[in-house]
């Protein structure tokens, strides 16, 4: 008796329209796990298909592809994640659905799948995604396997950075302060983790952490870690500079989940000893140093020419 054939799971672009229609029917948004199942239902995936794992074994394939489909809707400005694990159409997304009541054409799906890959996910795009009549067909350039691999890894990195920013917005201030110190230690600051002390709380005088760079604690770096939604302005950086002066400190790092105004950046550049780290750079450093992030080794085979030399 022959084994049952392994069912084929549609590529991620096929998940885009089912997700779009689901989110349109639920203006208040839906949990991501519910969206995964609804998209799988719409595509007719049976129980066997839903049990298939990625080759890495890290995730179910259909959930992975639904996640990438939602990533594309976010990059097109049509959807967003207002909180962790929650998907919801933006105003642009609602307009897009209202203007495209019928099934999307292959060209429209291709536009959503491929035309916004390089769009940063810090905020939704204000304009609607391209219309079928005014957008050119997406043409993928011919690239070597190594080039395609590099592009894929970069795309995965951007998606992880965006997910980290969403996640950081949900953690408590105390956890965020500890996370920042964990990251700085992983980056090589302090001989051991005990050299990085969290002091945030009421009466912290604008200092959330202290790093001893040497065993005796003669040289220190002072840290302020703020999990903010709004942009950090010059007054906050000036206050941090004043807190450093109060400690007679020469080095300080201000880290936030958001960004900085031009005036804040200018002030930091006008004084010595202050480094500003915004949310995108923070998430990138977390990826590089694997803080809150796991990574797997990818083995790329290549013939060892030296081995065959006689």
The string of pLDDT tens digits covering residues 190-203 is 878 887 888 865 44
DSSP-derived secondary structure letter, 116: T
CA distance 272 to 254: 13
Among 180, 153, 27, 137, residue whose Cα is nearest residue 93? 27
The string of pLDDT tens digits covering residues 93-119 is 999 999 999 899 999 999 998 888 777
The string of pLDDT tens digits covering residues 126-172 is 333 333 333 333 334 445 566 678 788 888 999 899 889 989 988 99
Q: Per mean pLDDT, which range of 33-37, 61-65, 200-204, 242-246 is the poorest?
A: 200-204
Mean per-residue pLDDT, 38-43: 96
Is the pLDDT at 68 greater than 50? The verdict is yes
**If pLDDT is split at 50, 70 and 90, which confidence band does 234 have?**
very high
Q: Which residues pair with 79 in a beta bridge?
A: 89
- List, in order of start, the domains of the chain with CATH numbers: 12-140 (1.10.10), 173-289 (3.40.1350.10)
The string of pLDDT tens digits covering residues 254-292 is 999 999 999 999 999 999 999 999 999 999 999 999 999
CA distance 283 to 93: 27
CA distance 268 to 257: 17
């Amino acid at each position: 008796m022959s084994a049952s054939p392994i069912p084929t799971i549609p590529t991620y672009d096929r998940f885009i329209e089912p997700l779009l229609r689901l989110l349109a029917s639920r203006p208040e948004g839906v949990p991501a796990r519910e969206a995964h199942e609804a998209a799988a239902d719409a595509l007719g995936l049976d129980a066997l298909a839903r049990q298939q794992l990625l080759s890495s074994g890290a995730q179910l394939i259909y959930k992975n592809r639904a996640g990438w489909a939602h990533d594309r809707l976010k990059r097109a400005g049509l959807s967003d994640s207002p909180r962790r694990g929650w998907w919801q159409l933006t105003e642009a997304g609602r307009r897009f659905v209202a203007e495209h009541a019928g099934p999307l054409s292959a060209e429209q799906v291709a536009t959503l799948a491929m035309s916004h890959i390089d769009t940063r996910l810090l905020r939704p795009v204000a304009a609607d995604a391209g219309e079928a009549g005014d957008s050119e067909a997406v043409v993928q350039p011919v690239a070597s396997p190594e080039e395609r691999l590099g592009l894929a890894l970069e795309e995965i990195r951007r998606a992880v950075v965006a997910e980290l920013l969403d996640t950081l917005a949900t953690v408590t201030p105390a956890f965020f302060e500890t996370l920042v110190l964990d990251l700085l230690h992983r980056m090589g600051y302090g001989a051991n983790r005990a050299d990085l002390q969290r002091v945030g709380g009421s009466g912290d005088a604008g200092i959330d952490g202290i790093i001893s760079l040497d065993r005796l604690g003669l040289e220190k770096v002072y840290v302020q870690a703020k999990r903010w939604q709004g942009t950090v302005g010059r007054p906050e950086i000036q206050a941090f500079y004043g807190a450093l002066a109060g400690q007679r400190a020469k080095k300080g790092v201000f880290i936030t989940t958001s960004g900085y105004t031009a005036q804040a950046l200018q002030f930091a550049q006008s004084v010595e000893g202050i480094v500003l780290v915004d949310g995108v750079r923070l998430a990138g450093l977390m990826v590089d140093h694997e803080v809150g992030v796991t990574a797997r080794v990818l083995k790329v085979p290549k013939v060892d020419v030296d081995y065959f030399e006689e």
